[in-house]
A and B are shown apart, each in its own frame.
Chain A
Amino acid sequence: MMDMRNLNMLKKTIPWVIIVLLAVFPLLSPDIFFLSIGVILFMYIALGSSWNIIGGYAGYLSFGHAAFLGIGAYVVALMLINYGISPFITCLLGGLLAALFAWIVGFPVLRLKGPYFSLATLCLGLAVPVIVINLPASIYGGATGLFMPLLPVDIFVNRTIFYEIMLALAVVTTLISRWILQSKFGLGLKSIRENESTAETIGINSTRLKTMAFVLSAFLVGIIGGIYAYYRTYIHPTTVFDTNLSIQIVLMALFGGATTWQGPVIGAAILVIIDQVLITAFPGAPAEISRLVYGLILVLVIMFMPHGIMHYILNWLKSRQLEAEDQEVQKSC
């Protein structure tokens, strides 16, 4: 019994220890390269966790989340360029506008089920950048994109600031995602995923829950998009509304296991590291080679673990627990 309690304590403290260690990592004045990887890693964890609220828990696979990311990015860039307001404040506005957009789009799109929803969101993701490119170029940058002034600090401090902010965003979105999974809201979403019409017959307002999940997810992604835009300092419709980015998010969440809150964290961590290793493993080779290997890994992973890594870890833990209980029963006999 004592062992179990210690194990639980350990399980609770280890993540926080890791987070604190990650937070103080810049104090070691590491190479800027590692801070940049950290920013990207935390961003994908945050994006994956936000996506998971609608995509994983409710089972509505959105392939167009880059639209929300891009809206956040553009709001922040426009506010900074035209009014000089700090992106760290306006990212909230970006999130709100992304949420509003999700709410409006959600009316028709969330009525679609399964693959139809995925295709509609995918097409949404393809259509939005076209609109942005064709907005008046003098204000919105058009096909040249928008440049933002850098933070007036040296590059190391700059990276550290974004590193810490992205880490905080990753932690907050993961906590929100975990809280939702354990709440009544999450249970409702899960019942929608399992069987939407049955969920409705037992009194679950599926439309309201889905809309809430979609809007919340878009809000978080919009905020992340705003910070990401300031990190890149240059945004262009094809980079912030990139459909590849939308699909990366889906992949990371599914790879880790989309029905769990840990899934996107693990998925993003493994895939970002693989991506970086591939880029450094083939120095001088064109980027296509690493993308090719990346695609191959994706195919293999989905083929052999279509439910994601967490699914297998949880099953394994469960079977071990059952074994341990069996042994205890045998001992007491």
Chain B
Amino acid sequence: MLSGYEIAHGLIGGIFVGLVYALLSAGFSLTWGVTRVINLAHAAFALIGSYITLTLLELAGVDPLISILFIVPVLFILGLGMHYFMIKPTAKRTKDITSASMVLSFGLYMIVENLLVVIFKSDDRVLHSRYSDLSFHIGPISVAMTSVTSLAIAVVSLGVIYFFLNRTYTGKAVRAVWQDMDGAMLSGINVESVTAITYGLSLASAGVAGLCLVLMYSVTPYIAFSWLIYIFLIAIMGGLGSIVGVTVGGLIVGLIVSLGSVFIPFAYINLVLFVLLIVVLIVKPTGLFRR
């Protein structure tokens, strides 16, 4: 029989996982919303964040929290590069950038994945940090310190992105471009640089999400693909470009995954998520949190 303990455990686990997945999906949702580009390589960039964390810790003993300072600029620059050297030249040559970008970014995904295999081999890698052996107690339920840390990072990062989009001038410009590109151009917004910044922000947030994920789970270069289904579901449920929507979507998906695995075999959860995705797409394709 199911006990209250199991359900409570599922609930808390779901919130932890959900918020990390929300951070992972935020950037994907932003680039799709702002530039109509579906970046299938998004999860692969998150994995770059994971491997940077692992390498820094193993080679130089850098604390995972400090490696954020490396991950954010590196992935921000990668994002700018992706915009200037891949998306921009492609967008010039095609009307349907959405379809082209899916294929383009799959090529990019292959490049990143295989680079990671070449550099880091395809073994399972686990992060052993100073948080690994600690745990944190909520009543009778104990939560690993690593989960608490990644939850904190995810919440702070989501907050920073929200603040950036809603309170700063550049962030407001990003939202303006996402709502109406021509209108934004007419009101004197430099759409070009705003788009570039969106990519930088998107990949940087993915990298930080990768750090959170490597704190909680073991990783291999091939794992990125299995993250994609969560990213799609959360981005579509939350409505494109809405940080609040993505956060709620992440929580819903996290709770379904976590509570679902209490009731049914874990393998069937992808199936449940797939059905859910279809239902959401048909009932409300603009997402649950956008008018």
Contacts and interface: CB of A to CB of B under 8 A. Distances in A.
A67 to B, nearest CB: 11
A134 interface: yes
Contacts of A131: 268, 271
Contacts of A111: 282
Interface in B222-250: 225-226, 228-229, 232-233, 236
A153 interface: no
A243 interface: yes
Contact of A108 (B107, B271, B278): B278
B267 A292 contact: no
B278 to A, nearest CB: 5
Contact of B86 (A127, A133, A303): A303
Interface in A293-316: 294-299, 302-307
Interface string B92-117: 01101011101110111111011101
Contacts of A116: 236, 281, 285
Interface residues of A, number: 43
B94 A123 contact: no
Contacts of B229: 123, 126
B270 A292 contact: no
A127 B110 contact: no
Contacts of B114: 288-289, 291-292, 295
B90 A302 contact: yes
Interface in B60-77: none
Contacts of A296: 107, 111
B209 to A, nearest CB: 19
Interface string A50-64: 000000000001010
Contacts of A119: 38, 232, 236, 277
A223 interface: no
Contacts of B225: 126, 243
Interface string A129-173: 011011000000000000000000000000000000000000000
A250 B101 CA distance: 13
B108, B113, B114: residue with the most chain A Cβ atoms closer than 10 Å: B114
Nearest to A253: B103
Nearest to A124: B274
Contacts of A298: 103-104, 106-107, 110
Contact of B90 (A127, A243, A306): A306
B107 A295 contact: yes
B89 interface: yes
B102 A61 contact: yes
A123 B98 contact: no
B271 A130 contact: yes
Nearest to B94: A306
A133 B32 CA distance: 33
Contact of B108 (A61, A243, A299, A306): A299
Contacts of A221: none
Contact of A307 (B38, B94, B104, B285): B94
Contact of A112 (B93, B228, B281): B281
Contacts of B90: 302-303, 306
Interface in A64-112: 108-109, 111-112
Given A286-B118, A288-B118, A295-B109, A127 B270 contact: yes
Contact of A61 (B99, B268, B274, B281): B99
A254 B102 CA distance: 11
Grouping DSSP codes into helix (H, G, I), strand (E, B) and loop, the B interface class, with mixed when no group exceeds half, is: helix
B267 A130 contact: yes
Grouping DSSP codes into helix (H, G, I), strand (E, B) and loop, the A interface class, with mixed when no group exceeds half, is: helix
B140 interface: no
A299 B285 contact: no
Interface in A163-196: none
B232 A122 contact: yes
Nearest to A254: B103
B103, B111, B274: residue with the most chain A Cβ atoms closer than 10 Å: B103
A286 B109 CA distance: 18
A32 to B, nearest CB: 28
Contacts of A134: 265, 267-268
A115 B110 contact: no
Given A123-B277, A130-B268, A306-B94, A292 B282 contact: no
A109, A112, A120: residue with the most chain B Cβ atoms closer than 10 Å: A120
A44 B99 CA distance: 21
A133 B267 contact: yes
Interface in B249-267: 265, 267
A120 B107 contact: no
A134 B267 CA distance: 8
A287 to B, nearest CB: 9
A186 to B, nearest CB: 19
Contacts of B273: 123, 127
A127 B274 CA distance: 7
A295 B102 contact: no
Contacts of B267: 130, 133-134
Interface string B33-52: 00000100000000000000
A302 B117 contact: no
Contacts of A305: 93
Interface of A: 61, 63, 108-109, 111-112, 114-116, 118-120, 122-124, 126-127, 130-131, 133-134, 243, 247, 250-251, 254, 286, 288-289, 291-292, 294-299, 302-307
11 contacts: A108-B278, A116-B285, A123-B233, A131-B268, A133-B267, A134-B265, A251-B107, A254-B103, A289-B118, A291-B110, A298-B106
Given A114-B98, A130-B267, 6 more contacts: A61-B99, A115-B38, A292-B114, A295-B111, A299-B108, A306-B94
